[in-house]
Amino acid sequence: MPDPAETALIFDLDNTLIHSTIDFIGTRHRLIDLLEAAGVAPAARAVLIHEPIPHLAAMGEAAGEKIGREMWEIVAAAEAAGLRDAVVVEHAAEVLAELRARGYRLAVLTNNARSGVAPKLAALGLDRYFDVVATRTEVPALKPSPEGIRYILARLPGVRLSYVIGDAWIDGRAAQEAGARFIGFGAREAASRERGVVPWAWITDLRELLTLELTRGA
């Protein structure tokens, strides 16, 4: 049975560790606007609006360098606006400090760019808790791809058991495909299950992480 030093807890960022105000729906609409204007939208807006932002951006990149660049500029602007006034999720700092004290290996995996994430984590005093911070600037492919989890685990030698903690189905899908356990957080459990994501556990308060038997059944 792995001990905490052999167990990785990989956290999503937005609305898991910090309350950001990134307008994900509005951003999707703006990306779809570009696809439609270029005549390359592969489906109706009502369908595309449910696609992860990285998937929409990939559609733009496939259509041409210019539209791909414009789409990522829209995403970057939305991230910057949403992170500007972000605050720490309730109890996040105390929970991270306790998990660190218990010996767990901690990481962040976010689809946001490092240029916005690194200074925000530092400003909020959260950066000290993490062994690895993985952003879209470094990882080979974005959530729901499992590649970010694999990127992190490659930098945590000795880890035998891994968890992904996040508020969205894309976190759970990435965990499932990487062979990690998914701990859902927040109010969107039903939406995740509708996408075929089955959590190992679901919590609504980060302090519940401290009560879970994270090394059992390994």
Cα angle for residues 151, 157, 163 (degrees, 5° grid) = 60
Query: Could you tell me the pTM of the whole model?
Result: 0.92
- Would you state the structure tokens that stand for residue 104, as one six-digit string? 């767990």
pLDDT of residue 2: 79
Average pLDDT over residues 103-132: 97
In this model, does residue 202 exceed pLDDT 60?
yes
In this model, does residue 8 exceed pLDDT 70?
yes
Bridge partners, 7 (sequence order): 161
In this model, does residue 1 exceed pLDDT 90?
no
Average pLDDT over residues 86-108: 98
Per cent of the chain over pLDDT 90 is 96
Cα angle for residues 43, 44, 49 (degrees, 5° grid) = 95
pLDDT of residue 12: 98
- Rounded to 5 degrees, what are φ and ψ at 124? -90, 0
In this model, does residue 218 exceed pLDDT 60?
no
pLDDT of residue 217: 59
pLDDT tens-digit series, residues 52-79: 999 999 999 999 999 999 999 999 999 9
Cα angle for residues 136, 83, 34 (degrees, 5° grid) = 60
Average pLDDT over residues 73-94: 95
Nearest-CA neighbor of 187 among 169, 207, 160, 174?
169
Bridge partners, 202 (sequence order): 184
Q: Does the CA dihedral 46-48-51-53 come out positive or negative? A: negative
pLDDT tens-digit series, residues 15-48: 999 999 989 999 999 999 999 999 999 999 999 9
